[in-house]
Structure 1
Amino acid sequence: MSITVESPRTLGRRIDVAAVPSVPAGFTVCAHLGWRPSEDGVDLVHTFTAESISDGAAVNALSELVRVGVLAGQDEFESAMVGLIASCCEDPADGWLAFYANSVDDLRTGRSGFSPVHRRARSLVVGHKVLEVGCCFGLFAVQCAQDGLDVQACDICPGALALLDDVSVRLGVGVRTVLGDARALPVSDDRVDTVTLIHLLEHLSSGDVTVAVREALRVARRRVVIAVPFEDEPSEHFGHLQRLSEDDLLRWAAPWIRSGLTVTVFTDHGGWLVIDKPA
Protein backbone atom coordinates (compact mmCIF):
# COMPACT_ATOMS: atom_id res chain seq x y z
CA MET A 1 0.00 0.00 0.00
CA SER A 2 1.24 3.51 -0.85
CA ILE A 3 0.51 6.77 0.97
CA THR A 4 1.38 10.29 -0.21
CA VAL A 5 1.50 13.14 2.30
CA GLU A 6 2.49 16.76 1.72
CA SER A 7 4.53 18.61 4.32
CA PRO A 8 2.63 21.90 4.65
CA ARG A 9 5.42 24.06 6.08
CA THR A 10 8.24 22.70 3.95
CA LEU A 11 7.33 24.20 0.57
CA GLY A 12 5.09 21.27 -0.30
CA ARG A 13 7.86 18.64 -0.32
CA ARG A 14 6.13 15.32 -0.91
CA ILE A 15 6.80 12.27 1.24
CA ASP A 16 5.64 9.16 -0.67
CA VAL A 17 5.49 6.10 1.58
CA ALA A 18 4.88 2.50 0.51
CA ALA A 19 5.01 -0.86 2.27
CA VAL A 20 7.13 -3.52 0.52
CA PRO A 21 8.17 -7.11 1.34
CA SER A 22 11.83 -6.07 0.98
CA VAL A 23 13.63 -2.88 0.00
CA PRO A 24 14.01 -2.89 -3.81
CA ALA A 25 17.06 -1.93 -5.84
CA GLY A 26 17.60 1.78 -6.27
CA PHE A 27 16.78 2.64 -2.64
CA THR A 28 19.30 3.36 0.09
CA VAL A 29 18.62 1.00 2.99
CA CYS A 30 18.30 2.54 6.46
CA ALA A 31 16.91 0.38 9.31
CA HIS A 32 13.42 -0.88 8.28
CA LEU A 33 13.35 1.76 5.55
CA GLY A 34 14.61 2.49 2.08
CA TRP A 35 14.75 5.95 0.56
CA ARG A 36 15.54 7.77 -2.65
CA PRO A 37 15.07 11.39 -3.75
CA SER A 38 12.10 12.10 -5.99
CA GLU A 39 11.43 15.05 -8.28
CA ASP A 40 9.49 16.93 -5.61
CA GLY A 41 10.40 15.20 -2.34
CA VAL A 42 11.39 11.79 -1.02
CA ASP A 43 10.23 8.26 -1.79
CA LEU A 44 10.22 6.00 1.28
CA VAL A 45 9.58 2.27 1.39
CA HIS A 46 9.33 0.17 4.52
CA THR A 47 8.90 -3.40 5.68
CA PHE A 48 6.71 -2.71 8.73
CA THR A 49 3.68 -4.95 9.13
CA ALA A 50 0.78 -5.18 11.57
CA GLU A 51 3.05 -7.33 13.75
CA SER A 52 6.05 -4.98 13.80
CA ILE A 53 4.69 -1.41 13.60
CA SER A 54 4.92 0.53 16.86
CA ASP A 55 5.71 4.01 18.08
CA GLY A 56 9.19 3.10 19.26
CA ALA A 57 10.13 1.17 16.13
CA ALA A 58 8.82 3.82 13.74
CA VAL A 59 10.38 6.73 15.64
CA ASN A 60 13.76 4.98 15.80
CA ALA A 61 13.73 4.26 12.06
CA LEU A 62 12.69 7.79 11.09
CA SER A 63 15.16 9.36 13.53
CA GLU A 64 17.91 7.61 11.59
CA LEU A 65 16.66 9.32 8.42
CA VAL A 66 16.81 12.65 10.25
CA ARG A 67 20.38 11.88 11.36
CA VAL A 68 21.55 11.26 7.78
CA GLY A 69 19.71 14.31 6.44
CA VAL A 70 16.91 12.63 4.48
CA LEU A 71 14.09 14.18 6.53
CA ALA A 72 14.11 17.69 7.97
CA GLY A 73 11.80 19.35 10.46
CA GLN A 74 8.67 18.36 12.32
CA ASP A 75 6.30 18.30 9.35
CA GLU A 76 8.38 15.89 7.28
CA PHE A 77 8.94 13.65 10.29
CA GLU A 78 5.23 13.55 11.15
CA SER A 79 4.22 13.06 7.50
CA ALA A 80 6.54 10.09 7.20
CA MET A 81 5.31 8.68 10.52
CA VAL A 82 1.67 8.82 9.43
CA GLY A 83 2.61 7.23 6.12
CA LEU A 84 4.36 4.30 7.80
CA ILE A 85 1.43 3.56 10.08
CA ALA A 86 -1.33 4.02 7.50
CA SER A 87 0.40 1.89 4.86
CA CYS A 88 1.48 -1.09 6.97
CA CYS A 89 -1.92 -2.77 6.39
CA GLU A 90 -4.27 -2.78 3.41
CA ASP A 91 -6.81 -0.84 5.47
CA PRO A 92 -5.24 2.22 7.17
CA ALA A 93 -7.63 1.81 10.11
CA ASP A 94 -6.14 -1.63 10.74
CA GLY A 95 -2.67 -0.10 10.59
CA TRP A 96 -3.59 2.40 13.27
CA LEU A 97 -5.15 -0.26 15.46
CA ALA A 98 -1.99 -2.39 15.19
CA PHE A 99 0.18 0.66 15.93
CA TYR A 100 -1.74 1.45 19.12
CA ALA A 101 -1.92 -2.15 20.34
CA ASN A 102 1.79 -2.80 19.73
CA SER A 103 2.89 0.57 21.13
CA VAL A 104 0.94 0.16 24.36
CA ASP A 105 2.24 -3.38 24.76
CA ASP A 106 5.82 -2.18 24.23
CA LEU A 107 5.34 0.59 26.80
CA ARG A 108 3.88 -1.77 29.39
CA THR A 109 6.48 -4.51 28.94
CA GLY A 110 9.50 -2.20 28.82
CA ARG A 111 10.41 -2.83 25.18
CA SER A 112 9.94 0.86 24.37
CA GLY A 113 12.64 3.35 25.27
CA PHE A 114 9.85 5.61 26.55
CA SER A 115 8.56 2.95 28.98
CA PRO A 116 10.31 4.38 32.08
CA VAL A 117 8.70 7.79 31.50
CA HIS A 118 5.17 6.41 31.14
CA ARG A 119 5.67 4.00 34.03
CA ARG A 120 6.81 6.79 36.36
CA ALA A 121 4.01 9.11 35.18
CA ARG A 122 1.36 6.47 35.83
CA SER A 123 2.79 5.89 39.32
CA LEU A 124 2.37 9.61 40.08
CA VAL A 125 -1.31 9.81 39.18
CA VAL A 126 -3.55 10.38 42.22
CA GLY A 127 -7.30 10.02 42.33
CA HIS A 128 -9.61 8.55 39.71
CA LYS A 129 -10.05 11.34 37.15
CA VAL A 130 -7.10 12.18 34.89
CA LEU A 131 -6.58 14.74 32.13
CA GLU A 132 -3.64 14.24 29.77
CA VAL A 133 -2.75 17.58 28.16
CA GLY A 134 -0.85 17.47 24.87
CA CYS A 135 -1.74 13.82 24.39
CA CYS A 136 -0.65 13.48 20.72
CA PHE A 137 -1.55 9.84 19.89
CA GLY A 138 -2.82 9.35 23.46
CA LEU A 139 -0.75 6.29 24.32
CA PHE A 140 -0.46 7.39 27.94
CA ALA A 141 -4.20 8.07 28.14
CA VAL A 142 -4.96 4.58 26.78
CA GLN A 143 -2.80 2.98 29.48
CA CYS A 144 -4.49 5.01 32.21
CA ALA A 145 -7.90 3.95 30.89
CA GLN A 146 -6.76 0.32 30.86
CA ASP A 147 -5.80 0.82 34.51
CA GLY A 148 -9.45 1.65 35.24
CA LEU A 149 -9.12 5.42 35.48
CA ASP A 150 -11.61 8.00 34.15
CA VAL A 151 -9.49 9.62 31.42
CA GLN A 152 -9.75 12.70 29.24
CA ALA A 153 -7.13 13.41 26.57
CA CYS A 154 -6.60 16.94 25.25
CA ASP A 155 -4.63 18.05 22.22
CA ILE A 156 -4.49 20.92 19.76
CA CYS A 157 -4.58 18.58 16.74
CA PRO A 158 -8.08 17.41 15.74
CA GLY A 159 -6.68 14.65 13.52
CA ALA A 160 -4.85 13.02 16.41
CA LEU A 161 -7.98 13.15 18.56
CA ALA A 162 -10.11 11.62 15.81
CA LEU A 163 -7.67 8.70 15.61
CA LEU A 164 -7.73 8.29 19.38
CA ASP A 165 -11.55 8.37 19.42
CA ASP A 166 -11.72 5.59 16.86
CA VAL A 167 -8.97 3.38 18.22
CA SER A 168 -10.00 3.70 21.87
CA VAL A 169 -13.43 2.30 20.93
CA ARG A 170 -11.83 -0.57 19.00
CA LEU A 171 -9.51 -1.30 21.93
CA GLY A 172 -12.44 -1.22 24.35
CA VAL A 173 -11.11 1.59 26.56
CA GLY A 174 -13.04 4.68 27.56
CA VAL A 175 -10.83 7.62 26.63
CA ARG A 176 -12.77 10.85 26.08
CA THR A 177 -11.08 13.50 23.94
CA VAL A 178 -11.29 17.27 24.04
CA LEU A 179 -9.85 19.68 21.48
CA GLY A 180 -7.94 22.43 23.20
CA ASP A 181 -4.78 24.41 23.80
CA ALA A 182 -2.66 23.85 26.91
CA ARG A 183 -2.62 27.62 27.39
CA ALA A 184 -6.43 27.86 27.54
CA LEU A 185 -7.85 24.51 28.56
CA PRO A 186 -11.55 24.07 27.72
CA VAL A 187 -12.13 22.41 31.10
CA SER A 188 -13.74 23.86 34.22
CA ASP A 189 -11.89 24.61 37.47
CA ASP A 190 -10.98 21.68 39.74
CA ARG A 191 -12.45 19.25 37.21
CA VAL A 192 -10.03 16.30 37.56
CA ASP A 193 -7.80 14.84 40.23
CA THR A 194 -4.56 14.78 38.22
CA VAL A 195 -3.44 16.75 35.16
CA THR A 196 -0.42 15.43 33.27
CA LEU A 197 1.85 17.34 30.88
CA ILE A 198 4.20 14.61 29.67
CA HIS A 199 6.87 15.87 27.26
CA LEU A 200 4.75 18.86 26.29
CA LEU A 201 6.34 21.99 27.74
CA GLU A 202 9.49 21.72 25.60
CA HIS A 203 7.17 22.44 22.65
CA LEU A 204 6.24 25.86 24.11
CA SER A 205 8.00 29.19 24.51
CA SER A 206 9.12 30.22 28.00
CA GLY A 207 6.20 32.59 28.48
CA ASP A 208 3.69 29.99 27.34
CA VAL A 209 5.08 27.45 29.82
CA THR A 210 4.02 29.68 32.72
CA VAL A 211 0.51 29.97 31.28
CA ALA A 212 0.22 26.23 30.65
CA VAL A 213 1.28 25.31 34.19
CA ARG A 214 -1.18 27.84 35.62
CA GLU A 215 -3.96 26.36 33.48
CA ALA A 216 -3.11 22.83 34.61
CA LEU A 217 -3.26 23.91 38.25
CA ARG A 218 -6.62 25.60 37.65
CA VAL A 219 -8.11 22.37 36.31
CA ALA A 220 -6.46 19.94 38.78
CA ARG A 221 -8.06 19.28 42.15
CA ARG A 222 -5.04 17.51 43.60
CA ARG A 223 -1.92 17.21 41.45
CA VAL A 224 -0.11 18.34 38.29
CA VAL A 225 2.56 16.01 36.87
CA ILE A 226 5.10 17.48 34.43
CA ALA A 227 7.84 15.57 32.62
CA VAL A 228 10.37 17.01 30.16
CA PRO A 229 13.34 15.58 28.25
CA PHE A 230 16.88 16.75 28.92
CA GLU A 231 18.57 17.17 25.52
CA ASP A 232 21.88 18.57 24.32
CA GLU A 233 19.92 20.43 21.63
CA PRO A 234 16.14 20.72 21.10
CA SER A 235 14.93 18.02 18.70
CA GLU A 236 13.57 20.00 15.75
CA HIS A 237 11.91 16.96 14.18
CA PHE A 238 9.88 16.45 17.37
CA GLY A 239 8.92 20.13 17.42
CA HIS A 240 10.95 20.96 20.52
CA LEU A 241 11.60 24.68 21.04
CA GLN A 242 13.58 24.67 24.29
CA ARG A 243 16.63 22.94 25.69
CA LEU A 244 15.61 22.24 29.29
CA SER A 245 17.49 21.40 32.47
CA GLU A 246 16.79 20.92 36.15
CA ASP A 247 17.36 24.65 36.61
CA ASP A 248 14.34 25.34 34.39
CA LEU A 249 12.18 23.05 36.50
CA LEU A 250 13.31 24.79 39.67
CA ARG A 251 12.54 28.16 38.09
CA TRP A 252 9.06 26.98 37.07
CA ALA A 253 8.52 25.62 40.59
CA ALA A 254 9.53 28.78 42.46
CA PRO A 255 6.26 30.77 42.28
CA TRP A 256 4.20 27.76 43.35
CA ILE A 257 6.51 27.11 46.29
CA ARG A 258 6.08 30.75 47.32
CA SER A 259 2.31 30.37 47.05
CA GLY A 260 2.37 27.49 49.55
CA LEU A 261 1.89 24.51 47.27
CA THR A 262 3.89 21.30 47.75
CA VAL A 263 6.40 20.96 44.93
CA THR A 264 8.77 18.10 44.08
CA VAL A 265 11.52 18.25 41.44
CA PHE A 266 13.55 15.17 40.49
CA THR A 267 15.26 13.46 37.57
CA ASP A 268 14.42 10.06 36.07
CA HIS A 269 14.92 9.65 32.31
CA GLY A 270 14.58 13.42 32.07
CA GLY A 271 13.17 15.94 34.51
CA TRP A 272 10.01 15.93 36.61
CA LEU A 273 8.00 18.59 38.38
CA VAL A 274 5.10 17.48 40.58
CA ILE A 275 2.86 20.13 42.14
CA ASP A 276 0.35 19.16 44.83
CA LYS A 277 -2.57 21.31 45.92
CA PRO A 278 -3.76 21.26 49.53
CA ALA A 279 -6.36 18.62 50.40
Structure 2
Amino acid sequence: MTLAVLPPIDPLASSDSDAYRDGLVEVVRGGSAPAAAHRTRSFAFWADDDQVHLVHDLPAELIDNDLAGLLATELFAPGWLEGSDLFERLMTGIVITSAPDPLSAWTLFYGNTLDRLTGPVAADPPEAHAALAEGSLAGYAPVYAHARALIDPGSMLELGSCFGFFSLLCAADRDVTASDLTPNTVRLLTQVAPRLALRLSTVICDAARVPRPGASFDTVVALHLLEHLPPEHGLAVVREMQRLARRRVVIAVPYEDEPTAAYGHVRTFSAGDLTELAHDSGWWWQVHDHHGGWLILDRP
Protein backbone atom coordinates (compact mmCIF):
# COMPACT_ATOMS: atom_id res chain seq x y z
CA MET A 1 0.00 0.00 0.00
CA THR A 2 1.38 3.41 -0.96
CA LEU A 3 1.02 6.64 0.95
CA ALA A 4 -0.89 8.17 -1.97
CA VAL A 5 -3.95 5.96 -1.43
CA LEU A 6 -4.10 6.23 2.35
CA PRO A 7 -7.13 8.04 3.78
CA PRO A 8 -6.51 11.22 5.80
CA ILE A 9 -5.74 10.77 9.48
CA ASP A 10 -8.92 10.75 11.54
CA PRO A 11 -7.96 11.70 15.12
CA LEU A 12 -11.42 10.76 16.36
CA ALA A 13 -11.59 7.35 14.71
CA SER A 14 -13.11 4.66 16.91
CA SER A 15 -10.60 2.49 18.71
CA ASP A 16 -10.51 -0.57 20.90
CA SER A 17 -8.52 1.67 23.28
CA ASP A 18 -5.44 -0.54 23.33
CA ALA A 19 -4.73 -0.44 19.59
CA TYR A 20 -4.83 2.02 16.70
CA ARG A 21 -4.59 0.77 13.12
CA ASP A 22 -4.68 2.45 9.74
CA GLY A 23 -3.16 1.60 6.40
CA LEU A 24 0.36 2.53 7.43
CA VAL A 25 0.77 1.98 11.20
CA GLU A 26 -0.35 -0.19 14.05
CA VAL A 27 0.14 1.27 17.52
CA VAL A 28 -0.51 -0.90 20.58
CA ARG A 29 -0.44 0.13 24.23
CA GLY A 30 0.98 -2.42 26.62
CA GLY A 31 1.46 -5.16 24.03
CA SER A 32 4.36 -7.48 23.41
CA ALA A 33 6.91 -7.09 20.65
CA PRO A 34 8.82 -9.79 18.78
CA ALA A 35 12.40 -10.48 19.75
CA ALA A 36 13.63 -8.91 16.51
CA ALA A 37 11.94 -5.56 17.21
CA HIS A 38 14.05 -2.45 17.63
CA ARG A 39 13.83 -1.03 21.15
CA THR A 40 14.38 2.48 22.49
CA ARG A 41 13.77 3.90 25.95
CA SER A 42 10.08 4.48 25.20
CA PHE A 43 9.15 2.25 22.26
CA ALA A 44 9.49 -1.11 20.56
CA PHE A 45 8.93 -1.07 16.80
CA TRP A 46 9.29 -3.15 13.69
CA ALA A 47 8.07 -3.10 10.11
CA ASP A 48 6.66 -5.59 7.65
CA ASP A 49 5.64 -5.13 4.03
CA ASP A 50 2.63 -2.93 4.72
CA GLN A 51 2.86 -1.46 8.21
CA VAL A 52 5.07 0.00 10.87
CA HIS A 53 4.21 -1.55 14.24
CA LEU A 54 4.87 0.34 17.47
CA VAL A 55 4.36 -0.73 21.08
CA HIS A 56 4.39 1.72 23.99
CA ASP A 57 3.35 1.88 27.62
CA LEU A 58 3.53 5.62 28.25
CA PRO A 59 1.77 6.87 31.41
CA ALA A 60 -1.08 9.38 31.21
CA GLU A 61 1.07 12.28 32.46
CA LEU A 62 3.32 12.00 29.39
CA ILE A 63 0.46 12.24 26.88
CA ASP A 64 1.08 15.79 25.68
CA ASN A 65 2.64 17.50 22.70
CA ASP A 66 6.13 16.48 23.80
CA LEU A 67 5.28 13.16 22.20
CA ALA A 68 6.43 14.89 19.01
CA GLY A 69 9.86 15.43 20.50
CA LEU A 70 9.93 11.90 21.87
CA LEU A 71 9.20 10.38 18.47
CA ALA A 72 11.65 12.68 16.73
CA THR A 73 14.45 12.02 19.22
CA GLU A 74 14.11 8.25 19.52
CA LEU A 75 12.84 7.12 16.11
CA PHE A 76 13.24 9.76 13.38
CA ALA A 77 16.44 11.67 14.18
CA PRO A 78 18.49 8.42 14.33
CA GLY A 79 17.13 7.47 10.91
CA TRP A 80 15.08 4.46 11.97
CA LEU A 81 11.93 5.98 10.44
CA GLU A 82 11.22 8.89 8.11
CA GLY A 83 8.36 10.89 6.63
CA SER A 84 5.98 13.43 8.12
CA ASP A 85 2.88 11.32 7.38
CA LEU A 86 4.30 8.33 9.23
CA PHE A 87 5.30 10.65 12.08
CA GLU A 88 1.79 12.08 12.40
CA ARG A 89 0.11 8.66 12.25
CA LEU A 90 2.33 7.22 14.96
CA MET A 91 1.67 10.23 17.20
CA THR A 92 -2.07 9.93 16.60
CA GLY A 93 -1.94 6.26 17.50
CA ILE A 94 -0.08 6.88 20.75
CA VAL A 95 -2.60 9.52 21.82
CA ILE A 96 -5.69 7.50 20.88
CA THR A 97 -4.43 4.44 22.77
CA SER A 98 -3.94 6.45 25.96
CA ALA A 99 -7.61 6.49 27.05
CA PRO A 100 -10.78 4.39 26.61
CA ASP A 101 -12.12 6.51 23.71
CA PRO A 102 -10.54 8.96 21.25
CA LEU A 103 -12.20 12.15 22.51
CA SER A 104 -11.17 11.40 26.11
CA ALA A 105 -7.65 10.66 24.87
CA TRP A 106 -7.38 13.97 23.03
CA THR A 107 -8.86 15.86 25.98
CA LEU A 108 -6.09 14.32 28.11
CA PHE A 109 -3.52 15.33 25.49
CA TYR A 110 -4.79 18.91 25.26
CA GLY A 111 -5.21 19.33 29.01
CA ASN A 112 -1.69 18.09 29.76
CA THR A 113 -0.24 20.28 27.01
CA LEU A 114 -1.98 23.47 28.11
CA ASP A 115 -1.06 22.81 31.75
CA ARG A 116 2.59 22.51 30.79
CA LEU A 117 2.49 25.57 28.55
CA THR A 118 1.07 27.77 31.32
CA GLY A 119 2.62 26.24 34.46
CA PRO A 120 6.13 26.43 35.91
CA VAL A 121 7.00 23.17 34.21
CA ALA A 122 7.05 25.04 30.89
CA ALA A 123 10.13 26.92 32.04
CA ASP A 124 11.68 24.07 34.00
CA PRO A 125 10.63 20.71 32.50
CA PRO A 126 10.67 17.64 34.76
CA GLU A 127 13.33 15.00 34.38
CA ALA A 128 11.04 12.87 32.24
CA HIS A 129 10.84 15.68 29.65
CA ALA A 130 14.27 17.25 30.14
CA ALA A 131 15.73 15.69 27.00
CA LEU A 132 13.00 17.35 24.94
CA ALA A 133 13.64 20.90 26.13
CA GLU A 134 14.27 22.20 22.61
CA GLY A 135 11.95 19.81 20.79
CA SER A 136 8.47 20.84 21.76
CA LEU A 137 6.70 22.32 24.77
CA ALA A 138 9.67 23.87 26.56
CA GLY A 139 10.64 25.37 23.21
CA TYR A 140 7.14 26.56 22.36
CA ALA A 141 6.24 28.01 25.77
CA PRO A 142 8.43 31.14 25.38
CA VAL A 143 7.26 31.54 21.78
CA TYR A 144 3.61 31.51 22.83
CA ALA A 145 4.27 33.83 25.79
CA HIS A 146 6.08 36.30 23.54
CA ALA A 147 3.32 36.16 20.92
CA ARG A 148 0.66 36.89 23.53
CA ALA A 149 2.61 39.97 24.61
CA LEU A 150 2.66 41.20 21.01
CA ILE A 151 -1.05 40.84 20.30
CA ASP A 152 -3.21 43.94 20.48
CA PRO A 153 -6.49 43.81 22.42
CA GLY A 154 -9.45 42.68 20.36
CA SER A 155 -10.10 39.85 17.94
CA MET A 156 -7.44 37.44 16.71
CA LEU A 157 -7.12 35.01 13.81
CA GLU A 158 -4.49 32.27 13.91
CA LEU A 159 -3.48 30.78 10.57
CA GLY A 160 -2.14 27.24 10.38
CA SER A 161 -3.23 26.61 13.94
CA CYS A 162 -2.78 22.82 13.72
CA PHE A 163 -3.76 21.51 17.18
CA GLY A 164 -4.70 25.06 18.16
CA PHE A 165 -2.77 25.33 21.42
CA PHE A 166 -2.01 29.01 20.97
CA SER A 167 -5.60 29.83 20.03
CA LEU A 168 -6.83 28.01 23.12
CA LEU A 169 -4.36 29.89 25.32
CA CYS A 170 -5.73 33.18 23.97
CA ALA A 171 -9.41 32.18 24.00
CA ALA A 172 -9.85 32.83 27.72
CA ASP A 173 -9.64 36.62 27.30
CA ARG A 174 -10.35 37.50 23.66
CA ASP A 175 -12.38 36.64 20.57
CA VAL A 176 -10.33 33.97 18.77
CA THR A 177 -10.67 32.23 15.43
CA ALA A 178 -8.39 29.29 14.64
CA SER A 179 -7.87 28.10 11.07
CA ASP A 180 -6.15 25.18 9.41
CA LEU A 181 -6.18 23.42 6.06
CA THR A 182 -6.81 19.95 7.54
CA PRO A 183 -10.52 19.32 8.20
CA ASN A 184 -10.02 16.57 10.77
CA THR A 185 -7.61 18.71 12.80
CA VAL A 186 -10.13 21.56 12.88
CA ARG A 187 -12.91 19.13 13.80
CA LEU A 188 -10.81 17.82 16.68
CA LEU A 189 -10.15 21.33 18.00
CA THR A 190 -13.85 22.20 17.71
CA GLN A 191 -14.84 19.18 19.79
CA VAL A 192 -12.12 19.41 22.43
CA ALA A 193 -12.42 23.16 23.20
CA PRO A 194 -15.80 22.89 25.01
CA ARG A 195 -14.46 20.03 27.13
CA LEU A 196 -11.76 22.46 28.28
CA ALA A 197 -14.41 25.14 29.00
CA LEU A 198 -13.04 27.34 26.21
CA ARG A 199 -14.84 29.01 23.30
CA LEU A 200 -13.40 29.81 19.89
CA SER A 201 -14.42 29.85 16.25
CA THR A 202 -12.78 27.65 13.63
CA VAL A 203 -12.32 27.85 9.86
CA ILE A 204 -11.08 25.21 7.43
CA CYS A 205 -9.01 26.97 4.77
CA ASP A 206 -5.69 27.48 3.07
CA ALA A 207 -3.85 30.23 4.95
CA ALA A 208 -3.44 32.10 1.66
CA ARG A 209 -7.18 32.08 0.94
CA VAL A 210 -9.26 32.79 4.04
CA PRO A 211 -13.01 33.17 3.42
CA ARG A 212 -13.41 36.34 5.46
CA PRO A 213 -13.71 40.02 4.41
CA GLY A 214 -10.72 42.34 4.58
CA ALA A 215 -9.79 43.85 7.95
CA SER A 216 -11.92 41.26 9.80
CA PHE A 217 -9.54 40.78 12.76
CA ASP A 218 -7.53 43.15 14.91
CA THR A 219 -4.51 40.83 14.84
CA VAL A 220 -3.58 37.97 12.52
CA VAL A 221 -0.99 35.47 13.73
CA ALA A 222 1.10 32.75 12.07
CA LEU A 223 3.38 30.94 14.51
CA HIS A 224 5.80 28.47 12.94
CA LEU A 225 3.75 28.15 9.77
CA LEU A 226 5.88 29.66 7.00
CA GLU A 227 8.66 27.06 7.32
CA HIS A 228 6.09 24.47 6.17
CA LEU A 229 5.41 26.34 2.89
CA PRO A 230 7.38 26.96 -0.32
CA PRO A 231 8.46 30.62 -0.69
CA GLU A 232 5.72 31.69 -3.13
CA HIS A 233 3.00 30.15 -0.99
CA GLY A 234 4.50 31.72 2.13
CA LEU A 235 4.53 35.15 0.50
CA ALA A 236 0.88 34.73 -0.45
CA VAL A 237 0.10 33.93 3.20
CA VAL A 238 1.81 37.11 4.38
CA ARG A 239 -0.19 39.17 1.88
CA GLU A 240 -3.40 37.48 3.04
CA MET A 241 -2.53 38.28 6.64
CA GLN A 242 -2.17 41.94 5.69
CA ARG A 243 -5.54 41.87 3.95
CA LEU A 244 -7.27 40.43 7.02
CA ALA A 245 -5.59 42.44 9.80
CA ARG A 246 -7.08 45.73 10.97
CA ARG A 247 -4.02 46.54 13.06
CA ARG A 248 -1.20 44.01 13.31
CA VAL A 249 0.38 40.91 11.79
CA VAL A 250 2.56 38.67 13.98
CA ILE A 251 4.79 36.03 12.37
CA ALA A 252 7.22 33.69 14.11
CA VAL A 253 9.61 31.19 12.50
CA PRO A 254 12.30 28.89 13.86
CA TYR A 255 15.93 29.34 12.93
CA GLU A 256 17.32 26.06 11.56
CA ASP A 257 20.41 25.05 9.64
CA GLU A 258 18.34 22.53 7.70
CA PRO A 259 14.55 22.08 7.51
CA THR A 260 13.33 19.48 10.03
CA ALA A 261 11.64 17.00 7.73
CA ALA A 262 9.94 15.02 10.51
CA TYR A 263 7.95 18.14 11.40
CA GLY A 264 7.13 18.86 7.75
CA HIS A 265 9.51 21.81 7.36
CA VAL A 266 10.49 22.57 3.75
CA ARG A 267 12.55 25.76 4.13
CA THR A 268 14.69 27.70 6.58
CA PHE A 269 14.61 31.35 7.62
CA SER A 270 17.14 33.93 8.70
CA ALA A 271 16.66 37.45 10.04
CA GLY A 272 17.55 38.64 6.54
CA ASP A 273 14.72 36.64 5.02
CA LEU A 274 12.25 38.22 7.44
CA THR A 275 13.62 41.68 6.73
CA GLU A 276 13.10 41.12 3.01
CA LEU A 277 9.46 40.21 3.67
CA ALA A 278 9.13 43.34 5.81
CA HIS A 279 10.51 45.68 3.14
CA ASP A 280 8.12 44.21 0.57
CA SER A 281 5.08 44.64 2.83
CA GLY A 282 4.72 48.43 2.66
CA TRP A 283 3.72 48.47 6.36
CA TRP A 284 5.56 49.65 9.45
CA TRP A 285 7.62 46.74 10.61
CA GLN A 286 10.12 45.30 13.05
CA VAL A 287 12.21 42.13 12.96
CA HIS A 288 13.72 40.69 16.11
CA ASP A 289 14.95 37.43 17.64
CA HIS A 290 13.35 35.59 20.54
CA HIS A 291 13.58 31.79 20.46
CA GLY A 292 13.61 32.12 16.69
CA GLY A 293 12.76 35.00 14.40
CA TRP A 294 9.82 37.42 14.51
CA LEU A 295 8.28 39.74 11.93
CA ILE A 296 5.76 42.30 13.19
CA LEU A 297 3.78 44.34 10.67
CA ASP A 298 1.59 47.27 11.69
CA ARG A 299 -0.92 48.84 9.32
CA PRO A 300 0.12 52.44 8.52
Do they superpose with TM above 0.5? yes
Paired with 1:197 and 1:59, the residues of 2 have a C-alpha distance of 20
Alignment match, 2:8:
none
Q: Name the structure 1 match of 2:299.
A: 277
Q: Who is 2:237 aligned against?
A: 212
> How many residue pairs get matched?
266
Q: CA deviation at 1:192?
A: 0.8
Structure 1 CA distance for aligned equivalents of residues 35 and 21 of structure 2 = 21
Gaps of 5+ in 2: 1-17, 126-136
CA contact (8 A) 1:49 1:89 kept: no
Q: Which of 113, 120, 135 is the equivalent residue of 1:103?
A: 113
Question: Are 2:216 and 1:191 aligned?
Answer: yes
Check the 8 A contact 1:221/1:277 in 2, yes or no. Answer: yes
- Aligned counterpart, 1:73: 83
- 1:1-279 → structure 2 map (5 Å cutoff): 1-6=18-23, 14-20=24-30, 26-56=36-66, 58-64=67-73, 65-109=75-119, 110=122, 111=125, 112-113=137-138, 114-146=140-172, 148-256=173-281, 259=282, 261-278=283-300
Following the alignment from structure 2 to structure 1, what is the Cα–Cα distance between the partners of residues 260 and 280? 28
Structure-2 separation of matches of 1:22 and 1:149: 47
Structure 1 pair 21/2, CA: closer, same or farther in 2 (3 Å)?
closer
Q: TM-score, normalised by structure 2?
A: 0.85
Structure 1, unpaired ranges of 5+: 7-13
Q: Which amino acid counterpart does residue 265 of structure 1 have in structure 2?
A: V
Report the Cα offset of residue 197 of structure 1: 0.4
Instruction: Note the C-alpha offset of 1:78.
Output: 0.6
Q: Secondary structure at the match of 1:231?
A: coil
CA 1:79/1:126 → structure 2, altered by over 3 Å: closer, same or farther?
Answer: same
Amino acid at match of 2:39: V
Q: Secondary structure at the match of 2:192?
A: helix
Q: C-alpha offsets along residues 121-162 of structure 1, whole Å, 9 cap, x if unaligned?
A: 11111122010100000011000012x111000000000000
Cα gap change, 1:83 to 1:184, in 2 (>3 Å) = same
Q: Quote the RMSD (CA, aligned, Å).
A: 1.6
* One-letter amino acid matched to 1:2: A
The equivalent residue for 1:9 is: none
Structure 1 distance, partners of 2:36, 2:149, is 48
Task: Write the distance in 1 (CA, Å) between the matches of 2:33 and 2:59.
Answer: 14
Counterpart-to-counterpart distance in 2, 1:163 and 1:175: 13
Q: Larger strand proportion, structure 1 or 2? A: 1
Alpha carbons of 1:251 and 1:167: their partners in 2 closer, same or farther (altered >3 Å)? same
For the Cα contact (< 8 Å) 2:31–2:55, is it kept in 1? no
With normalisation by structure 1, the TM-score equals 0.91
Q: Distance in 2 between matches of 1:197 and 1:132?
A: 6
Aligned sequence identity (%): 38
**SS of the counterpart of 2:22?**
strand
How far residue 188 of structure 1 moved from its aligned partner, in angstroms, is: 1.1
Stretches of 4+ moved more than 3 A in 1?
Answer: 21-27
Report the secondary structure of 1:51's partner residue: helix
